[in-house]
Structure 1
Amino acid sequence: MRRSVLVRFLGLSLAVALGAVIATALIATYSTSEKLQGEIDANTGQLQVDGEIYGQLSKYAADHPTWSGVDKLVHELGDKLGRRVAVTTDDGSVIADSARMLGAAPALPSVPAATIDVRNAGVSKLSAISGAAVYSARKTVASGISGFVATATAAPPFVAYSDWGRTEQENQTQERLAQQAVACWNAKGKPASIRKTGSVPQVVIESTQSPAGVRMLEKPGVAADDTCSPPGLNAPSAKAKIVNDDEIRRARACLDAAGMLYEVNDFEGLQSVEPKSKGDVPAKFDDCTTQARVQALTPYVAPPAKLYLGAKSTFNVFSGEGLLRTAATALGVLLIAALVMIFAGRRLVRPIVALTGAAQRMRNGDHAARVPVSGKDEVARLGHAFNDMAESIQRHDFQRKAMVSDVAHELRTPLANIKGYLVASEDGVVPLDSELVTSLLEETELLEHLVTDLQDLALADAGMLRLHPAPRDLTELAQQVVAAHRPTADAADVTVTAVGGPSPAMVDSARIRQALGNLVSNAIRYTPPGGNVVVGVRRVGDGYDLSVTDNGSGIAEEHLPYVFDRFYRAEHSRSRSTGGSGLGLAITKHLAEAHGGRITVTSRLGSGSTFTIWLPAAATLSG
């Protein structure tokens, strides 16, 4: 039993709809379960351990432009804290996984524990990265902690921290400046020393002992004499300065475009942007400064990544109630899909039926069969394509019939002449002398030439026109063609010349002489006595132009598009009385294209014509 397209289309649509319902229910149930499980895990322990993992990875992201090399830190954290730690990109590609062994690892949880994005992280999160709280001043203090700035909405804390982005050379400079400060304080009678927190040198000044006998630390920033702090002691790193400058520039440009009032504060090398109006910070202000920070930090910190902790859990996807609800939803979706597809399918099948009927009529010989087309969808384009195909078939059928008629006519003329002379000779009306034999040979040659031309065209149409390329000089071939046609030209009182310099190319010399010969023969035939025919060869780009120019009768503009059609003749300037089979130009066109070239014509009625064959210097021959 043959099933219609409508039934198959409907069945397929219903199957897709059913699959979509099941997949949606599966994903929704699965995601909800995972999310709930994640919330339960987050509230039942491991908060301190997970916070340490997050802090360590966030610090790595702040200190490195990429995640390359984080694999070692991930494995160390996993071994030290007893948790599976995995870091992936936003699209799910695994960057590092402490559980991966020999390229394999258990499946990750469906929901990440956190997203590591130091560009967008708030102050509270980033304070863990810098190893300190949020600082409100940038002054050397007695405890030795120096280099902090009130950044407001400008730089994130880790940029303002003293050792962020600092090179080894900058560390050495800070060490030298700290030593100068210590020497200065010692010279003033205030014992001072250097302590280090990480790579940051800290100047510590000892003051008098308290009544309890405990040494106190003096705050140089508050003291009346603070001249011992050399310039640059609290300067940020060059990297932090670049990031801060870029961020301030971007923030100001955004705020200026938004027409918001702001002020820029400077704290020993780092700037901050703050709104002029006190109170709540406008949302636009916060958006401008946040985007500026993200864009400025992007080249210097690792891109956002997802942090997975623990292992994938398994859940029961469908409960009894969930299964009933899914089945009811599926039935509703299937019903809607069936109604929609019935209406849509009928609209789809109707033009297909029309196309089928038209194709059957064409099979039965009705080449005028067409289909009505409306709209611009795929079926409409199919209808247009069918109509174009039918038009082409009808046109070629007409051309085929016309060609058969022309071939019959061309063959009939010489055969009728030969038969007439032979019958007349047999009846004794015309003596069988040398003059009659010469006339019969001329008719035979004309017939042979016509048959040869038809054979060449048949080979070209079948793709069997064989060429034998060899290195030849095109100017030399043009001169040979001129020499071969000079007797005919002299008889017609037409001057034929060839011009051109050395023109080496890979061509089939016999076929090129044939093509040029057809053009020269036509030019002589349609050039009046005293006229000129010039065969020229010249270099044009990566090929050569072989042109045949005459000052004969020319071709009317309306006939130019058809001069290369078989058996085509313009009625006045190309009449049958001038001779020729009407196939020469068609053959020439095939020969030019077989050499990878082309042929064109320019002409004005009464002013002559120019036929130009362009051939590539290194032709890619076909056939």
Structure 2
Amino acid sequence: MRRSVLLRFLGLSLAVALGAVIATAVIATYSTSEKLQGEIAENASQLQTDGEIYSRLNEYAGEHPTWSGVDKVVKQLADETGRRIAVTEPDGTVIADSARMLGAGPELPSMPAATIDVRNEGNALFTKASAAIATRMPPGKAEARVMMSAPYLMSPSWGLTDQERRERDRLADQAVACYQSKGTTATVSKGGGEGPQVIVESGGSVDGVAVTQVMKVGAAPVDDECMPAELNAPSAKALMINQDEVRRAVSCLKAAGEPFSLSSYKLPGLQTVVPANTDQPFSQTMIECTSKARSDALAPYVAPEARLYLGAKNAFNVFSGEGLLRTAATALGVLLIAALVMVFAGRRLVRPILALTGAAQRMTNGDHATRVPVAGKDEVARLGHAFNAMAESIQHHDHQRKAMVSDVAHELRTPLANIKGYLVASEDGVVALDQALVSSLLEEAGLLERLVVDLQDLALADAGKLRVHPELRDLSELAQQVVSAHRPAAEAAEVSLIAEVNGPAPAVVDNARVRQALGNLVSNAIRFTPSGGKVVVGVRRAGDGYNLTVVDNGTGIAAEHLPHLFDRFYRAEHSRSRTTGGSGLGLAITKHLVEAHHGTITVTSKLTHGSTFTIHLPSRPFPPDKA
């Protein structure tokens, strides 16, 4: 069994898409690898640049209580490094973005490059590693590692006021003068964020190269009379924060019942909280108390936590330079493969369509017997079956048309021949043009008129122009009118014709059209009911409408003729003449009239037991339309 055309097209599309994905992956992998290989040498300097950016911003956070004004630093760093720099709050609110300063608004990277959190800097690292540090490091060293998480312990120059900085500069000048008075070369470097630096030449050399010693502020105290101790003392702000931190930590530890002791730090005046037994590691309670105390003490003096995003100014474009040539070559390859696949598969898909086209052209040329071979159960196969059914219907209607033309010619020829014959005989004096001859001619003309009217009704129905004019009528009264109109014909045929109704039956119908349809059925019933027979016209309620029935006990109709009763010019007994059998158009017209009322007509019959014709008409109103 052939697969569905839809599934085949889907498979082809997926195959082409898969090829495109593979080709894209190849291009991206090759181009990215080539780009990365070209940038390997630059990564070291890029990491160094990013480290400097982080250091500068971290320094800013340690010297300012808020991030206000950091945009100037961000812009300066972006101009110096050529990097996009963005600082945001933890919830994503942008504090400063070098790209937005230039009028651009690209989205930030999905992940930040770093988190700037001076208040808690080092606490997370200490929380994970404090136990290992305490067990591996000699006694008394663990607390030194802990204290490095506070920015004011990094350097004695942190938090200096302008007055304190000027005093440090004076002390540095004094130390240089002292060294020079002793014949030792010394200089001082002032300015910058680290405070003054005293540089002293040692006087020695290594391989002819002079060796100098840089005495930076914040270094361990030096046993040298020229180096004043105040040069390495912490700032007043650092002392105040340290005292607040120790106070908070001590309060927390006492509340928790945790034993502790206070230890002096290398910078004079600073203290830290350590375990009572310095050989023991920090407990979880001590870690939490000291971390929170340090964070709370620093909060009023340093900037809050922020996210740092870094990005390049230009993204790599695979469609530039040599990448464009490779992309074009790959695209052509994908298109070639897709074309080959579509040609191979398309020929199989198009073959049955070409067969249908050829058959349709043969039908256009008059060959209504043409058919197409059909195999499988897919959409094309269903189209082939539909085409063959259409051809069968066209052929059948063509046969009906030819038969109808022949029947119409026959029906018209007989009365015309009679009229012409009588008129010629009268003209030749063979037959006198008396009252009897005129009556006969009028009867033949009436037959012609009825045939023409019937053909006109059928033509209107075929053209969709058989209109009805509905109005509220009583179907019971209408049935009685039909019975009254046909009673003379029934009495002449010695057939009993009665109406059976059960009260009013209101419905919206075209009175003339329903009488015509019901009259055709009654006329046929009288014609095919022998003398002494009976025809009953009934009206009964049925669902949402009414059933109009015409029941006779006449000769009946064979079962093989029932499906064709409503075909034009069809007679159950072909031996009947137009006088005894009618024109063969009455039932066809009746069917169209009923359908114009959105109704249905059915028939049941059995030979020698009579027939029952049933018209069902809806009682609800309907808009006038075409049949």
Q: Tell me the TM-score normalised to structure 2 length.
A: 0.52
Kindly indicate whether the alpha-carbon contact (under 8 Å) linking 2:27 and 2:326 is maintained by their aligned counterparts in 1: no
1:449 matched to 2:463? The reply is: no
SS in 1 for 2:540: strand
Q: Which residue of 1 aligns with 2:483?
A: 482
Q: Pick from 512, 517, 521: which aligns with 2:523? A: 521
Give the direction of change, closer, same or farther, for the CA distance of 1:607–1:330 in structure 2 (3 Å limit): same
For 1:68-87, list aligned pairs within 5 A: 77-79=91-93
Kindly indicate whether the alpha-carbon contact (under 8 Å) linking 1:30 and 1:317 is maintained by their aligned counterparts in 2: no
Q: Which residue of 1 aligns with 2:498?
A: 496
Alpha-carbon distance in 1 for matches of 2:343, 2:456: 57
1:316 matched to 2:330? The reply is: no
SS in 1 for 2:334: helix
Give the direction of change, closer, same or farther, for the CA distance of 1:340–1:575 in structure 2 (3 Å limit): same
For residues 25-47 of structure 1, give each alpha carbon's deviation from its aligned partner in whole angstroms, at most 9, with x where no partner exists.
Answer: 699679989xx9xxx99xx8999
- Greater mean alpha carbon deviation, residues 503-512 or residues 576-585: 576-585
Give the direction of change, closer, same or farther, for the CA distance of 1:490–1:112 in structure 2 (3 Å limit): farther
Q: Which residue of 2 aligns with 1:326?
A: 327
For 1:455-474, list aligned pairs within 5 A: 455-474=456-475
Q: Pick from 594, 597, 614: which aligns with 1:595? A: 597
Q: Which residue of 2 aligns with 1:225?
A: none
Alpha-carbon distance in 1 for matches of 2:575, 2:476: 30
Cα distance, 1:534 vs structure 2: 1.5
Give the direction of change, closer, same or farther, for the CA distance of 1:584–1:599 in structure 2 (3 Å limit): same
Q: How many residues align?
A: 384
Cα distance, 1:401 vs structure 2: 0.4
Q: Which residue of 1 aligns with 2:512?
A: 510
For residues 133-176 of structure 1, give each alpha carbon's deviation from its aligned partner in whole angstroms, at most 9, with x where no partner exists.
Answer: xxxxxxxxxxxxxxxxxxxxxxxxxxxxxxxxxxxxxxxxxxxx
What is the one-letter code of the residue matched to 2:621?
Answer: A
Q: Pick from 570, 576, 589: which aligns with 1:568? A: 570
Q: Which residue of 1 aligns with 2:233?
A: none
Alpha-carbon distance in 2 for matches of 1:366, 1:508: 43
Q: Which residue of 1 aligns with 2:416?
A: 415
1:549 matched to 2:551? The reply is: yes
Cα distance, 1:559 vs structure 2: 0.8
Alpha-carbon distance in 2 for matches of 1:310, 1:381: 62
Give the direction of change, closer, same or farther, for the CA distance of 1:588–1:321 in structure 2 (3 Å limit): same
Q: Pick from 585, 588, 601: which aligns with 1:586? A: 588
1:439 matched to 2:440? The reply is: yes
Alpha-carbon distance in 2 for matches of 1:399, 1:412: 19
Alpha-carbon distance in 2 for matches of 1:20, 1:418: 84
1:612 matched to 2:626? The reply is: no
Q: Which residue of 2 aligns with 1:236?
A: none
Kindly indicate whether the alpha-carbon contact (under 8 Å) linking 1:596 and 1:621 is maintained by their aligned counterparts in 2: no
Give the direction of change, closer, same or farther, for the CA distance of 1:608–1:82 in structure 2 (3 Å limit): farther
Stretches of structure 1 lacking an aligned partner (at least 5 in a row): 1-8, 48-73, 85-98, 100-104, 115-211, 219-308
For 1:235-314, list aligned pairs within 5 A: none
Alpha-carbon distance in 2 for matches of 1:595, 1:483: 24
Cα distance, 1:595 vs structure 2: 1.2
Q: Which residue of 2 aligns with 1:621?
A: 624
Give the direction of change, closer, same or farther, for the CA distance of 1:310–1:377 in structure 2 (3 Å limit): farther
Cα distance, 1:332 vs structure 2: 3.3
Give the direction of change, closer, same or farther, for the CA distance of 1:445–1:23 in structure 2 (3 Å limit): farther
For residues 192-246 of structure 1, give each alpha carbon's deviation from its aligned partner in whole angstroms, at most 9, with x where no partner exists.
Answer: xxxxxxxxxxxxxxxxxxxx9x98789xxxxxxxxxxxxxxxxxxxxxxxxxxxx
Cα distance, 1:621 vs structure 2: 3.0
Kindly indicate whether the alpha-carbon contact (under 8 Å) linking 2:479 and 2:499 is maintained by their aligned counterparts in 1: no
Kindly indicate whether the alpha-carbon contact (under 8 Å) linking 1:470 and 1:507 is maintained by their aligned counterparts in 2: yes
Give the direction of change, closer, same or farther, for the CA distance of 1:468–1:329 in structure 2 (3 Å limit): same
For 1:11-410, list aligned pairs within 5 A: 20=20, 24=24, 77-79=91-93, 108=107, 315-318=315-318, 320=321, 322-323=323-324, 325-410=326-411
Alpha-carbon distance in 2 for matches of 1:385, 1:458: 27
- Greater mean alpha carbon deviation, residues 401-410 or residues 539-548: 539-548
SS in 2 for 1:365: coil
For residues 528-555 of structure 1, give each alpha carbon's deviation from its aligned partner in whole angstroms, at most 9, with x where no partner exists.
Answer: 2222211111222222211111111111
Alpha-carbon distance in 2 for matches of 1:450, 1:591: 17
- Greater mean alpha carbon deviation, residues 311-320 or residues 402-411: 311-320
Kindly indicate whether the alpha-carbon contact (under 8 Å) linking 1:489 and 1:496 is maintained by their aligned counterparts in 2: no
Give the direction of change, closer, same or farther, for the CA distance of 1:26–1:464 in structure 2 (3 Å limit): farther
Give the direction of change, closer, same or farther, for the CA distance of 1:562–1:310 in structure 2 (3 Å limit): farther
Cα distance, 1:329 vs structure 2: 3.3
Kindly indicate whether the alpha-carbon contact (under 8 Å) linking 1:569 and 1:575 is maintained by their aligned counterparts in 2: no
Cα distance, 1:432 vs structure 2: 3.0
Stretches of structure 2 lacking an aligned partner (at least 5 in a row): 1-8, 37-45, 55-87, 113-250, 258-308
Give the direction of change, closer, same or farther, for the CA distance of 1:433–1:311 in structure 2 (3 Å limit): farther
SS in 1 for 2:513: helix
Give the direction of change, closer, same or farther, for the CA distance of 1:387–1:312 in structure 2 (3 Å limit): farther
Q: Which residue of 2 aligns with 1:160?
A: none
Kindly indicate whether the alpha-carbon contact (under 8 Å) linking 2:467 and 2:596 is maintained by their aligned counterparts in 1: no
Q: Tell me the TM-score normalised to structure 1 length.
A: 0.52
Percent of aligned pairs with the same residue?
72
Cα distance, 1:373 vs structure 2: 2.8
Alpha-carbon distance in 2 for matches of 1:507, 1:107: 73
What is the one-letter code of the residue matched to 1:463?
Answer: G
Cα distance, 1:476 vs structure 2: 1.1
Give the direction of change, closer, same or farther, for the CA distance of 1:456–1:329 in structure 2 (3 Å limit): same
Kindly indicate whether the alpha-carbon contact (under 8 Å) linking 1:417 and 1:443 is maintained by their aligned counterparts in 2: yes
Give the direction of change, closer, same or farther, for the CA distance of 1:506–1:81 in structure 2 (3 Å limit): same
Give the direction of change, closer, same or farther, for the CA distance of 1:429–1:376 in structure 2 (3 Å limit): same
Cα distance, 1:613 vs structure 2: 1.3
CA RMSD of aligned residues (A): 4.8
What is the one-letter code of the residue matched to 1:315?
Answer: A
Alpha-carbon distance in 1 for matches of 2:581, 2:561: 18
Alpha-carbon distance in 1 for matches of 2:421, 2:502: 48
Larger Rg: 2
Alpha-carbon distance in 2 for matches of 1:27, 1:498: 89
Kindly indicate whether the alpha-carbon contact (under 8 Å) linking 1:482 and 1:497 is maintained by their aligned counterparts in 2: yes
SS in 1 for 2:91: helix
Alpha-carbon distance in 2 for matches of 1:540, 1:562: 26
SS in 1 for 2:355: helix
Alpha-carbon distance in 1 for matches of 2:333, 2:315: 27
Kindly indicate whether the alpha-carbon contact (under 8 Å) linking 1:554 and 1:573 is maintained by their aligned counterparts in 2: no
Alpha-carbon distance in 1 for matches of 2:335, 2:481: 81
Give the direction of change, closer, same or farther, for the CA distance of 1:438–1:357 in structure 2 (3 Å limit): same
Give the direction of change, closer, same or farther, for the CA distance of 1:334–1:413 in structure 2 (3 Å limit): same
Kindly indicate whether the alpha-carbon contact (under 8 Å) linking 1:485 and 1:521 is maintained by their aligned counterparts in 2: yes
Cα distance, 1:372 vs structure 2: 2.5
Cα distance, 1:323 vs structure 2: 4.2
Give the direction of change, closer, same or farther, for the CA distance of 1:394–1:312 in structure 2 (3 Å limit): farther
Alpha-carbon distance in 2 for matches of 1:216, 1:613: 101
Alpha-carbon distance in 1 for matches of 2:471, 2:478: 13
Give the direction of change, closer, same or farther, for the CA distance of 1:353–1:496 in structure 2 (3 Å limit): same
Give the direction of change, closer, same or farther, for the CA distance of 1:18–1:564 in structure 2 (3 Å limit): same
Alpha-carbon distance in 1 for matches of 2:355, 2:407: 37
SS in 2 for 1:77: coil
What is the one-letter code of the residue matched to 1:565?
Answer: D
For residues 94-114 of structure 1, give each alpha carbon's deviation from its aligned partner in whole angstroms, at most 9, with x where no partner exists.
Answer: xxxxx9xxxxx95656x8559
